[in-house]
């Protein structure tokens, strides 16, 4: 288990909420930031804020080094083959939209299929719906098995020669399911399709190696991995990115501009129109340093212990429904009988415990689970078994309270 | 018990409306239907109104959501049945002000005349829950607008 020292590096966690010590269990929505990331961003703004790639002056050079240095860190962190394959974007949503509107519009036509799962976040559904409307392609959903996983046999049946794109989350933000991306990528490739992976809930929590997974596109967000909001990464295989058109045009991404036509910069900059997210990238670099100092394997192991303990303790509560498979990432989605999840979340908040309630941006999955809403506790490297105990105690009190008023 | 502050939000009368909602169901015959969702959390109300000669003759609702949203819907139907459309909208505005924690204009209606909805006053102290309380009222306002 990671110790208290890790938690102490997150200043925000040292506060009282509604008269109780804060227990933050909403890291799947956004993670908290360690002092070291906050400091690096501060020193960027107070020391070398400047635009990148064009200033001849000293600050411009330092900003460029900071920005491109972070790209190098991203490349190593996910084991991309080159920094050309790591595009800075606003977040996972923008990354997937970029693939959909560039690669998707170029390669899809009437009768083609996009295969996805029923556990996708809206950000890995709606871009494909939109592209399908524009191109006449069809969406095909893999069924969800009873335990909240997908079966590779179903993937083999669903992916055919008509399939051009397989869009899949690495880790479900609701069920915690870890999908067999490497195997699915293989099936996609056997059918000459590409695979686009939503890695928002994976990269912060486990070692991700894009070359080992053999994925074509992989998207993730900085703010869920101890970094700032507004920065994320689109990884794409160089051979694919080279042949794709940008989706945003303007400053920063051009080579030559003429009155009637223009040419683009080389990778990765042709996809980074406008003044880039410099402070965000610098902050993401600091977050990667922080995570690597602790080690992704240690983080994964820590979360595994916390989540197993959470399930074991939560299962003891009468009238609780826990969604998702046994083997899962560090989150638990649940409902208490006869207590609406909003009411659960409000009751827990009054005890200083922050959980998420709602549909978690996965309405099709909620329908599948036959729940209009659920509550979710999600864990990260700063959470402990003691946080789980407080949650379980809070849930018992919530049950009692709503039982009493009835 | 450490939940004392919750009692401001979850008053007995709210829980009573949640557990035994008034006017829950479907209206027969001619009526207006409004379906509204709270997209951020999945609360849903299906409100049916019968308006004749500018008066709300009857109202029923179906839906799913938290205790606050469903209790508010139940209380809302109770208050507006028999009121003129103008008065129903006025009361809805009073309710919005109440939710925002603003001083409520009581020149025409006193809060105590509005029955159980006073119990929802505590919601204003829980900003994240105000949308739950106002969903049914928004549906009602849209419904009577349709009629006019």
Count of other CB atoms within 10 angstroms of residue A370? 6
A317 and A181 inside one domain: no
Does residue A367 sit at the B interface (CB-CB below 8 Å)? no
Regions in chain B scoring below 70 on pLDDT = 1-2
Predicted pLDDT of residue B1:
44
Where in the sequence numbering do the catalytic residues of A fall? 361
- Report the C-alpha dihedral over residues B88, B94, B100, B103, rounded to 10 degrees: 180
Domain-embedded: residue A308: yes
- Nearest chain B residue to A371 by CA distance is B42
Residue A97: its H or E element: helix A92-99
Q: Are A93 and A145 in contact (CB under 8 A)?
A: no
Q: A278, A293, A308 — which closes off a domain?
A: A293
Q: How is chain B classified by DSSP, letter by letter?
A: -TTTTHHHHS-HHHHHHHHS-TTBS---SS-EEEEEEETTTTEEEEEEEEEETTEEEEEEEEEE--HHHHHHHHHHHHHHTTSBHHHHHHHHHHHHHHHTTPPP--SS--GGGGGGGGGGGGGGG-GGGHHHHHHHHHHHHHHHHHH-
A11 and A70 inside one domain: no
Domain-embedded: residue A71: yes
A220 and A364 inside one domain: no
Give the span between the Cα atoms of B68 and B41, in whole angstroms. 13
Q: Do the Cβ atoms of A401 and B41 come within 8 Å?
A: no
Phi, psi of B50 (to 5 degrees): -110, 115
- pLDDT of A405 higher than 60: no
Q: Are A254 and A230 in contact (CB under 8 A)?
A: no
Predicted pLDDT of residue A63:
96
Number of domains making up chain B: 1
Domain-embedded: residue A315: yes
Does residue A401 sit at the B interface (CB-CB below 8 Å)? yes
Q: How is B58-85 classified by DSSP, letter by letter?
A: EEEEEEE--HHHHHHHHHHHHHHTTSBH
- Unique residue bearing structure tokens 């909805």: B117
Q: Beta A113-117 vs A138-142: how paired, if at all? A: parallel
pTM score, two decimals? 0.92
Domain-embedded: residue A10: yes
Give the span between the Cα atoms of A266 and A282, in whole angstroms. 22
Q: Are A195 and A213 in contact (CB under 8 A)?
A: no
Q: Beta A86-89 vs A232-236: how paired, if at all? A: antiparallel
pLDDT bracket for residue A365 (50, 70, 90): very high
- DSSP character at residue A178: B
CATH number of the domain to which A13 belongs: 3.90.1150.10
Does residue A403 sit at the B interface (CB-CB below 8 Å)? no
A332 and A364 inside one domain: yes
Query: ipTM for the complex?
Result: 0.82
Domain-embedded: residue A168: yes
Residues spanned by the domain of A282 = 38-293
- pLDDT of A319 higher than 70: yes
Q: Which residues of A touch B65 (CB under 8 A)?
A: 340, 342, 372
A277 and A352 inside one domain: no
- pLDDT of A344 higher than 80: yes
Phi, psi of A383 (to 5 degrees): -90, 150
End-to-end CA distance of chain B: 50
Q: A293, A328, A345 — which closes off a domain?
A: A293
A383 and A311 inside one domain: yes
Domain-embedded: residue A33: no
Predicted pLDDT of residue A128:
98
CATH number of the domain to which B77 belongs: 3.90.1010.10
A272 and A166 inside one domain: yes
If DSSP codes are grouped into helix, strand and coil, which group holds residue A51?
Answer: coil
If DSSP codes are grouped into helix, strand and coil, which group holds residue A216?
Answer: coil
Domain-embedded: residue A53: yes
Predicted pLDDT of residue A404:
63
Instruction: Please state whether the peptide bond connecting residue A238 to the residue before it is cis, i.e. omega within 30 degrees of 0.
Output: no
A11 and A134 inside one domain: no
Predicted pLDDT of residue A138:
98
Q: Are B62 and B34 in contact (CB under 8 A)?
A: no
Predicted pLDDT of residue A54:
76
Q: Which residues of A touch B41 (CB under 8 A)?
A: 342, 357-359, 373
Give the span between the Cα atoms of A220 and A213, in whole angstroms. 15
Residues spanned by the domain of B97 = 3-146
A277 and A179 inside one domain: yes
Please list, residue by residue across A140-178, b when 16 or more beta carbons sit within 10 angstroms of its beta carbon and e when fewer do: ebbebeeebbbeeeebeebbeeebbbbbbbbbbbbbbbb
- The pLDDT tens digits for A245-264 are 999 999 889 999 999 999 99
Predicted pLDDT of residue B2:
60
Backbone torsion region of residue A226, taken as left when φ is above 0, otherwise alpha when ψ lies between -120 and 50, otherwise beta: left
Number of domains making up chain A: 2
Q: Which residues of A touch B44 (CB under 8 A)?
A: 372
Q: Which residues of B touch A405 (CB under 8 A)?
A: 10, 12, 15
A266 and A328 inside one domain: no
CATH number of the domain to which A56 belongs: 3.40.640.10
A345 and A209 inside one domain: no
Distance to chain B for A373, nearest Cα, Å = 6
Give the span between the Cα atoms of B141 and B138, in whole angstroms. 5
- A287 burial via Cβ count (<10 Å: 0-12, 13-18, 19+): buried
A365 and A262 inside one domain: no
- The pLDDT tens digits for A108-158 are 999 999 999 999 999 999 999 999 999 999 999 999 999 999 999 999 999
- The pLDDT tens digits for A259-300 are 999 999 999 999 999 999 999 999 999 999 999 999 999 999
Mutate to test the interface with A, among B12, B42, B44, B124 (most CBs of A within 10 A): B42
Domain-embedded: residue A32: no
Q: Are A138 and A80 in contact (CB under 8 A)?
A: no
Nearest to B77 by CA among B87, B88, B66, B64: B88
Backbone torsion region of residue A148, taken as left when φ is above 0, otherwise alpha when ψ lies between -120 and 50, otherwise beta: left
Predicted pLDDT of residue A406:
47
State the average pLDDT for chain A. 96
């Amino acid at each position: 288990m990671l110790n208290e020292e890790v938690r102490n590096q997150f200043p925000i966690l040292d506060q009282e909420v509604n008269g109780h010590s804060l227990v933050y269990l909403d890291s799947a929505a956004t993670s908290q930031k360690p002092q070291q990331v906050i400091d690096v961003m501060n020193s960027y703004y107070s020391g070398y804020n400047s635009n990148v790639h064009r200033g001849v002056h000293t600050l411009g050079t330092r900003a460029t080094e900071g920005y491109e240095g972070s790209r190098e860190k991203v490349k190593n962190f996910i084991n991309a083959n080159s920094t050309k394959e790591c595009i800075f974007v606003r977040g996972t949503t923008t990354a997937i939209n970029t693939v959909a509107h560039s690669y998707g519009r170029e390669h899809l036509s009437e009768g083609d299929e996009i295969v996805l799962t029923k556990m996708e976040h809206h950000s890995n559904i709606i871009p494909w719906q939109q592209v399908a409307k524009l191109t006449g392609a069809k969406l095909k959903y893999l069924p969800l098995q009873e335990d909240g996983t997908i079966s590779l046999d179903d993937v083999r049946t669903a992916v055919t020669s008509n399939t051009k794109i397989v869009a899949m989350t690495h880790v479900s933000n609701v069920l915690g399911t870890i999908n067999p991306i490497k195997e699915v990528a293989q099936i996609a490739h056997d059918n000459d399709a590409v695979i686009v992976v939503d890695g928002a809930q994976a990269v912060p929590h486990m070692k991700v190696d894009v070359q080992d997974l053999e994925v074509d596109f992989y998207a993730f967000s900085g703010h869920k991995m101890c970094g700032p909001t507004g920065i994320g990464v689109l990884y794409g295989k160089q051979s694919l990115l080279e042949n794709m058109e940008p989706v945003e045009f303007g400053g920063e991404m051009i080579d030559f501009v003429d009155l009637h036509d223009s040419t683009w910069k080389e990778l990765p900059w042709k996809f980074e129109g406008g003044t880039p997210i410099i402070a965000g990238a610098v902050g993401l670099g600091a977050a990667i340093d922080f995570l690597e100092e602790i080690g992704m394997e240690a983080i994964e192991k820590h979360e595994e212990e916390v989540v197993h303990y959470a399930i074991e303790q939560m299962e003891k509560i009468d009238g609780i429904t826990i969604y998702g498979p046994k083997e899962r990432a560090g989150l638990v989605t649940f409902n208490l009988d006869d207590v609406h999840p909003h009411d659960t979340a409000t009751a827990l908040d009054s005890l200083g415990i922050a959980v998420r309630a709602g549909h978690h941006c996965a309405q099709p999955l909620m329908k599948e689970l036959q729940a209009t809403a659920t509550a979710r506790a999600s864990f990260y490297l700063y959470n402990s078994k003691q946080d789980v105990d407080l949650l379980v105690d809070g849930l018992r009190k919530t049950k009692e309270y709503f039982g009493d008023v009835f | 018990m450490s939940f004392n502050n919750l009692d401001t939000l979850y008053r007995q009368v709210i829980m009573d409306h949640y557990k035994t909602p008034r006017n829950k169901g479907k209206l027969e015959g001619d009526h207006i239907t409004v379906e509204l969702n709270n997209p951020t959390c999945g609360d849903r109300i299906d409100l049916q109104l019968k308006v004749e000669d500018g008066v709300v003759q009857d109202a029923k609702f179906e839906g799913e959501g938290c205790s606050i949203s469903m209790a508010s819907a139940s209380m809302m139907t109770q208050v507006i049945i028999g009121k003129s459309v103008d008065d129903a909208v006025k009361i809805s505005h009073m309710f919005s002000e109440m939710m925002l924690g603003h001083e409520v204009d009581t020149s025409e209606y006193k809060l105590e005349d509005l029955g159980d909805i006073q119990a929802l006053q505590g919601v204003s102290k829980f900003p994240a829950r105000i949308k739950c309380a106002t969903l049914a009222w928004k549906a009602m306002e849209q419904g009577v607008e349709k009629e006019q």
